[in-house]
Amino acid sequence: MCSAEQASGSLGAMALPAFHLDHAGLKAWLQEKNEGRLQTLWSEADRVRKARVGDAVHLRGLIEVSSHCIRHCLYCGLRGPSQELVRYRMEADEILASAQEAFRLGYGSVVLQAGEDRGLSKEFIAGVVRAIKRDTPLAVTLSLGERDDDDLREWKAAGADRYLLRFETSDPALYKRIHPSLPGVPSDRFAQLHRMRTMGYEIGTGVMVGIPGQTWDTLAADILRFREFDMDMIGVGPFLPSPRTPLGGPDISTFLAPPKEQVPNDELTTLKAVALTRLVCPDANIPSTTALATLDRAQGRELGLMRGANVVMPNVTPVEYRVRYEIYPGKACVNETAAACQGCLEGRIHSLGRKIGKGPGGRYSNAV
């Protein structure tokens, strides 16, 4: 169970600042500037990570199976109206080959991710999931956006283990503004997450840090939602403006909250959000995100892993496709082959005194 007590309990004896992980406490920590107190936050997040999920860093091979998207999210470079993007959809045998590559590289799971693409039919994805489960021992995570229960049930029956769907923000008005609904279909990602859990999926979610219009109160409330939903996986990365989108264009200032309230999309704030997420959800799988690695190529990945994260999602999409999966520009590792990325990551993980996780690395098998 996600909890606040874990984090505060051990600190009492050390006479360090208490970790009051209620709304006001989270908001204060997110705005904390004092170096000494931040060191306390970093070391407590790292201690809780080690105690609860261990030193293993689980690698999930990310396969970006399609860049088609029917949605108009104001932040996402794949949004349907981005006409200049050359779209692709991988064939089933290409997806399977990428999954096999992930397995050869020693990864325990793959994530099939795409824009919201109705060209990825229920039957097609079910067939791909069955083939991956037949030919490899990989856990399969799907991240295909908002889909019907019928599709989700079929994919679970085909063997899918987990589903990732970031709720992006817990503020309903901000969500509506940046994530327009499809005509006549209200978007309720919390409801979908809840239904997927009852279907037997491990569920993952997350938010971006510093979306225009996100206030300190909103981000504190987001982190509390992680706890309330007892999320299994939680991705928190910086918002990176894409010039193809309304939130990355010249009108960005019209979306910003007043300066004192607007959360910056910087590395420090993202790391605070990652560390606090670890404290409120000590058992969750938390990736050190590609967006963070993009913001700080030198050491973003490592800093995430040192401040609460225990998962990395290296890209195993064929390079010719992945350069076209441009959610935001300048994505880290975009031109590296899967094997080169694996070598690089292994070095980075070992340099932190950590080890590569073996096996699927699910929420309830993390100590492996």
Residues of this chain that interact with ligand FES (CB under 6 A) are 69, 71, 73, 76, 78-79, 115-116, 145
Q: Which residues, 156 to 185, sit near ligand 5AD by CB under 6 A? A: 166, 168
Binder of residue 240, out of ligand FES, ligand 5AD, none (CB less than 5 to 8 A by kind): ligand 5AD
Q: Which one, 12 or 81, has the nearer CB to ligand FES?
A: 81
Q: Yes or no: say if 295 and 301 are a contact pair by the CB < 8 Å rule.
A: no
239 binds ligand 5AD (CB under 6 A): yes
Q: What is the DSSP string of 92-133?
A: HHHHHHHHHHHHHTT-SEEEEEESS-TTS-HHHHHHHHHHHH
Distances (CA, A) of 236 to 61, 70, 89, 156, 304: 18, 24, 27, 25, 10
CB of 323 to ligand FES, least distance (A): 17
* Rg of the chain in Å (alpha carbons): 19
Question: Pattern 120-159, binding to ligand 5AD, x per CB under 6 A?
Answer: ----------------------------------------
Q: Which one, 237 or 360, has the nearer CB to ligand 5AD?
A: 237
Torsion of CA 347, 162, 206, 56, to 10 degrees: -30
Does an H or E element contain 324, and which? none
Question: Pattern 72-101, binding to ligand 5AD, x per CB under 6 A?
Answer: ---xx-------------------------
CB of 164 to ligand FES, least distance (A): 12
Q: What is the DSSP string of 187-224?
A: --HHHHHHHHHHHT-EEEEEEEES-TT-BHHHHHHHHH
Binder of residue 168, out of ligand 5AD, ligand FES, none (CB less than 5 to 8 A by kind): ligand 5AD
- Give residue number: closest CB to ligand 5AD: 166
Q: Which one, 247 or 292, has the nearer CB to ligand FES?
A: 247
Q: Which stretch binds ligand 5AD (CB under 6 A): 120-128, 226-234, 237-245, 329-337?
A: 237-245
d(CA 312, CA 290) in angstroms, rounded, equals 8
CB of 145 to ligand FES, least distance (A): 6
Q: Yes or no: say if 52 and 282 are a contact pair by the CB < 8 Å rule.
A: yes
- What sign does the CA torsion over 131, 132, 133, 134 have? positive
240 binds ligand 5AD (CB under 6 A): yes
Binder of residue 79, out of ligand FES, ligand 5AD, none (CB less than 5 to 8 A by kind): ligand FES
Query: In which residue are the tokens 């795409």 written?
Result: 114
d(CA 137, CA 359) in angstroms, rounded, equals 8
d(CA 321, CA 100) in angstroms, rounded, equals 17
214 binds ligand 5AD (CB under 6 A): no
Binder of residue 328, out of ligand FES, ligand 5AD, none (CB less than 5 to 8 A by kind): ligand 5AD
CB of 198 to ligand FES, least distance (A): 24
Site size toward ligand 5AD, by CB under 6 A: 12
Question: Pattern 319-348, binding to ligand 5AD, x per CB under 6 A?
Answer: --------xx--------------------
**Would you give the distance in Å from CA 282 to the centre of its chain?**
16
Pick the closest to residue 278 from 314, 311, 327, 315 (CA basis). Answer: 311
Pick the closest to residue 308 from 85, 92, 19 (CA basis). Answer: 19
Q: Which one, 114 or 345, has the nearer CB to ligand FES?
A: 114
Q: Which one, 46 or 326, has the nearer CB to ligand FES?
A: 326
HSE-CB for 12 with a 13 A CA cutoff: 5
Q: Which stretch binds ligand 5AD (CB under 6 A): 127-135, 236-244, 296-304, 308-316?
A: 236-244
> Which chain residues interact with ligand 5AD by CB under 6 A?
75-76, 166, 168, 208, 237, 239-240, 242, 291, 327-328
